[in-house]
Structure 1
Amino acid sequence: MSQPQEMGCLITKLYIEREPVMGITKTTGYAGVMYSGFLGADGSSLLSAPITVTRTNSSINAPGSYTGVLRPSTAITTATNYTITGVNGDYDILPAGELLVRYANKTVTYGATATPSLVSAQYRDGSSKLLINLAPPVVSGNQYTFTDPFGGVVQFEVGANGATTSSSGNVLVGAYNLAETTVTQTSPNFSNNLTVVGGLTVTPAPITPSSSTFSDKVYDGTTLATATSGVGFAGVLTGDHVQIGGSLTFVDKNVGTNKSVTASGMTISGADSANYYLSAITGAGTASITPVQIDVSGILAEDKIFDGTTSASISDTSFITNSFFLADNVSISSIDAVFSDPAIGDKKTVTVSSINLDGSDAGNYVFNTPVKLLADIDPLFIRLQGLTNINKTYDSTKQLPSGEIGYRLLSVLPEGVSMVGQPEYDSREGGLRQITQGSLQVRGISSEGYSLSWENGDGIIYGVPLQVTIHDASKTFGAEDPTNYRGFSISGFVGTDTMDDLIGILLVVRIIKEVEAPGVYADVLTLGGVRSSSYIFQYDLGDFAIGPDIQDLEIAGRTFSETQANSSFLSNLLP
C-alpha cells in the first residue's frame, strides 16, 4: 500500500539593493526540502530523482514575505510504496539592516541531540550597503552569542518552530523549520531584527524486540504462546509510553519441551509510538507444552457373565471423548481394565489402569489413572432342551441313534465355551423314554461359573423280536403235570442280554390245564409270568400229550388205535 509522503520548502534570501556586485539574488536550491511520512528506516534514497525547488515569482526581488511561492518538483519524482505530495514553502526577502542567520538542514533520529550547523550570519548595512558577516558564535548549550564587528551583540536560542515534545521531553518525529527563541540581546546595527532559517527533520528511532522468556503451557490444541511478562524491547526512551504487540506462536501445537516460540506480526502502540519503528517484527525463544491431564470419570464398567477371567469392559466413554479438542485427530483405541478376581459376585471392584489412544494428536493427552469402578460378574446361564421324537430300535444301551445330537442350545455361549458329551435315554429298556442330559456337560469354564438348565426330550425305543420255543411234553394219564414240563429255549437276545434281563419267573405253563382226558394237545404249552418292554415275544408253542391208556386217542384231529397210542410217537412225548 502506498504511503503519502509530504515535503515542503522554505527559504529566506537577502535583499540586495542596487548592489549587483555584492549581492546574491538567491541561494541555489533555496533551502532545500524536508520530508515527513517515511516509515521505519526509509528515507529520500528511495526517490527516483532528486526533488528540486522553483520560485514562482522569481522576477520579484523587492523586500517582503512571499507565501507558498517555493514549489517542490513532486510531479517527476516517484518512490516505491509511497505516494508523494508537496507542501509549498514561503520565501522572504529581507531589507537592509536585518540579521539573517542560516543553519544547514539537519536530520536527526528521535531522541538525539540536534546541534545546528551554522552556514552564515550576515546583514546588509543600510548606510555603506556592505554585506557584514558575523564571526562564528560562542555556543553555550543551545544559546548562541554572535558579536558584530562594528559593535553590538546578538544572543538567542535556536529551536524547531512549532514543535511539541513527547512524554520523555524530546521533539516529536516530523519536519520543522528552525527559528530563534529566547532572544536576550540584539544590536542596533541590524535594527534589532533577527531571522533564523534552516530545517530540522526528526526521524523515528528504531526499537528492537529483546530476548523474551515465554510461558510453558498445558496443551490446548493451538499454537498460541504467551510471554512471561510481556514481550521486551530495547530502544524506547525513559518516560515514553510505548507498548508492543504481536502474535506469539509455538512451532506446532503438540506436546514437547523447549519448543521454538516465534513472535510475528509485531506492532507498537501507545502515546509515543509514532516516534519509533520496529527494526525487526519477529522474535524468538523457547517454551514447553505439557500434555493436558484428563480426570477419568463418567465411565461405566459393564457387568459380565462369568468366563473364568478378570477381563472387564468399559462403556459410556463420552465424557472422555468430550474432553478432546474438537479439531484433534484422536480416538480411544482400548481401555485396560480388570476385575479384582474372576469369581462370581456383585459390585466387584474393577480397576482401570490405562486408556490408550489412536491418532496423530494422541500424545497430547494423559489420563489420571488408575480409577476404581464397580460391576457384577453373573453366572453363565445355559439352557438346553432335549429334542422330541428321537426313536430307535432296542440295542441294550441308552445311547441315542447315531448322528442324533439330541438337544438344542437355547443360550449363547461365550467364546471359548462349548458343550461336550451326549444326551441319552433315561433307560435302555424299550418303550416311551425321556431324553435326559446324559453325559452332556460344559467345557471351557469352571463349574462354579455357570448354572445349567435341562429340559427333557422324548423318544421311543422299539422292542425287538425274541424267539421263544416251548419244548413238547407229555404225562401218563392220571399223573401230575411235570414241573416246567420239558422247558424252553430262547434266541434273539441283543448284546449281552440274557434271560436274566426278562421280567418275571420263567416257567412253562399249560394253557388248558383242567383238561385231563388222554390225548395229544397241540400248542397248549407256553411261557407264563414273563414280560419285557424291550422284546417282542414270538412263541413256538409246545404240544402236550396225556396217555397211553386210551383206546382211541385223537391227537391233533387224528384218530389212533391203542396200539398206535403206545407207539414211539407217544413214547417221545413222555417226560
Structure 2
Amino acid sequence: MTPRSGQSKTYGATEPALAYEPVVLVGTDAFTGSLSREQGSTVGSYDITQGSLALSNNYVLSLTAGVKFTITAKALTASIVASNKEYDGGTTASATGSVPAADVVTGDEVAIAVSDAAFATKQVGTNKTVTATVALTGEAARNYSLSATSATATAEITAKPLTASITADSKVYDGTTLASIATRTLVGVISPDAVTLTVGTAAFADKNVADSKTVAAAGLRLDGADAGNYSVNTTATATAAITARPIVVTAAANQSKVYGTTTDPVLGYSITTGSKVDGDNFSGQLARAGGENVNTYAIDLGTLSLGTNYDLSMTAGSTFAITRKALTASILAQSKVYDATSNATALGSVPAASLVGSDVVTVAVTNAQFNDKKVGQNKAVTATVALGAILPATTA
C-alpha cells in the first residue's frame, strides 16, 4: 500500500490521521490500525511508516517507501514599536519588534530582530511612518516564518533645541532704551541645514548712561529652509554701554556790565556742537572768574549742567568784560584881576554820588580859558578835564 503524498501540518498544530491510497481487498476484509511517521516535532520532512496498520494473515502487507510527511513553518506577523527622537538631520530610527505571544508555541523562544529602521522623511512631525526590516531569531526560529519581512509603525521627530545668544552695540545717550543687536549666534544647528536667527526687539534696562548695562532681546525666532526642525529660546540678554552725549556750548559774545553794577547779568550761551534730547533741559548757569574792577574775566561752565547723561564742555576763550563807569565832571573857576590874557584857573570834581563805594576820584583840569580877556562879571570859563588819581585804584 502507498501513503498519500503531500500530507503535512503546520508547526505546533495537532497531528492529523495519516491517509493512504485506496487498496482493493477481498470481500469485507478491512485494514486495522493506522499509519505512523518518523518521530519529530520541528519543521522538516519525516518518513511515513506502517505503524499499526495491518491486514489478516491472508495478505502480505508492504509499504511503499519514500513518502514523506512534512511539518511546515508556522506563519507569524511581526510588529514594531518605534521610539520618538529629537531631530538629528537624518531618517534613522530606533525600533523594537515582537510577535503575538499567543501565536508562539508554548515553551518556544522566538524574538524579532529589527534592522534598517527609518522614518519616511527627516523633518519634524508627529505620527510619522517608520519602516524597518524584521527577521526571526531565537532557538525555535526555524519553526516559524514571517508573513512579511518589513513592518511599519509611527513615531514622532521632535524639534532640536538651539541656544541663541546675542551681543549688543553700545550707543550714545539718546533718551530712549532702544538697543541695536551687533551679532546673533545659534549653537546646535546641524550642517548643512539653513537656519538663521531673527530678533524681534532689543532694549536697555533703562535709558541712562552706564557701563555694562543689560540689554534684553525678545521675539527671537528662527528663519530659513530648515527652521521648522528646530526650536529656540525666545529671549536673550547681553551687556553694552550707554555713553554720555557730548555737547559743546559757547558763551555769547560781548557780554559785560558797567563798573559798579552790583549784579552780573545772566550769562548767555548757545549749543555749538551736538544737540540735546527733546525734553532734557539745562540747569544752573555759566560763571566767570572773580573780580569787580574794570577788566576781562574768563567765562566757565559754572553750575550749568544737563545731568549725568551728557558730557558738557565749553568753547575756550570766552570772556566777560567790566567796562568803565561814565562820570560827568564839573569845574569851579576862580575870578582874577585883568592881566591882558584869557587864562583862567579852575578846579575840577565829579559828583560823589556817582562814585562806587569808597572810591575817590580827582579831576585834572588843563587849558582853562575865559571866553575873552576883557573885564566882566559871570564870564564863561571852559577847560579840558581828565580823570586824575583814583583811590582805591581801579583799572584805568
> How would you bin the TM-score normalised by the shorter chain?
0.5 to 0.7
TM-superposition CA deviations, 1:123-154 (whole Å, max 9, x none)? xxxxxxxx989977445xxx51xxxxxxxxxx
Q: Relative to 1, partners in 2 of residues 1:352 and 1:405: Cα closer, same or farther, differing over 3 Å?
A: closer
The C-alpha deviation readout for 1:286-315, integer Å capped at 9, x for no partner, is: x6677777899x999999999999999999
Matched, 1:284 2:174: no
**Cα RMSD between the aligned structures?**
6.4
Deviation at 1:571, TM superposition (A): 0.8
Percent identity among equivalent residues?
A: 14
Match of 2:127 among 250, 257, 260: 260
Query: In structure 2, how many angstroms separate the alpha carbons of the residues matched to 1:459 and 1:439?
Result: 16
Contact 1:386-1:456 within 8 A present in 2 as well: yes
Secondary structure in 2 matching 1:282: strand
* 1:55-454 equivalences in 2 (<5 Å): 100-106=1-7, 109-112=10-13, 113=15, 116-121=18-23, 137-138=31-32, 143-144=34-35, 157-158=36-37, 169-172=41-44, 179-181=47-49, 194-196=63-65, 198=67, 204-210=73-79, 226=94, 230-234=96-100, 235-238=103-106, 239-246=108-115, 247=117, 249=119, 254=124, 259-260=126-127, 262-270=129-137, 272=141, 275-279=144-148, 281-284=150-153, 321-323=186-188, 325=190, 327=193, 329=195, 331=197, 333=199, 356-359=220-223, 360-361=227-228, 364=231, 392-393=253-254, 405-406=271-272, 408=273, 420=282, 426=288, 433-437=297-301, 440-442=304-306, 447=307, 449=308, 452=311, 454=313
Secondary structure of 1:170's aligned partner: coil
Tell me which amino acid in the other structure corresponds to 1:476: S
| Greater C-alpha radius of gyration | 1
Q: Distance in 2 between matches of 1:114 and 1:460?
A: 129
> Is 1:458–2:314 an aligned residue pair?
no
Letter in structure 2 aligned against 1:209: A
Find out whether 1:477 has 2:318 as its counterpart.
no
Contact kept, 8 Å, 2:5 with 2:68, in 1: the verdict is: yes
What 5-or-longer segments of structure 2 have no aligned partner?
A: 258-264, 338-343, 384-396
Q: Is the 8 A contact 1:180 1:195 kept in 2?
A: no
Compute the displacement of 1:451 (Å): 7.7
Q: Following superposition of structure 1 onto structure 2, how do residues 504-515 of structure 1 map, counting pairs within 5 Å?
A: 508-511=363-366
Shift of 1:437: 2.4
Amino acid of the structure 1 residue aligned with 2:97: V
- For residue 369 of structure 2, give the secondary structure of its aligned residue in structure 1: strand
Does residue 545 in structure 1 map to residue 354 in structure 2?
no
Structure 1 counterpart of 2:112, one-letter code: Q
Q: Is the 8 A contact 1:209 1:231 kept in 2?
A: yes
Instruction: Indicate the structure whose relative CO is greater, using CA pairs within 8 Å and at least 6 residues apart.
Output: 2
TM-score by length of 2: 0.56
**Contact in 2 for aligned 1:101/1:195 (Cα 8 Å):** yes
Structure 1 regions of 5+ residues with no counterpart? Answer: 1-99, 123-130, 145-156, 488-498, 512-520, 522-543, 547-554
Work out the CA distance in 2 between the residues paired with 1:305 and 1:467.
51
**Does 2:385 align with 1:573?**
no
The question of whether the paired residues in 2 share the 8 Å contact of 1:306 and 1:378 is answered with no
Q: Return the letter of the residue paired with 2:4.
A: Y
What is aligned with 1:77?
none
Q: Given the superposition, is the C-alpha separation of residues 208 and 263 from structure 1 closer, same or farther in structure 2, using an over 3 Å criterion?
A: farther
**Which letter maps to 1:170?**
T
1:2-37 per-position Cα deviation (integer Å, ceiling 9, x unaligned):
xxxxxxxxxxxxxxxxxxxxxxxxxxxxxxxxxxxx
Aligned partners of 1:317, 1:394: CA distance in 2, in Å? 55
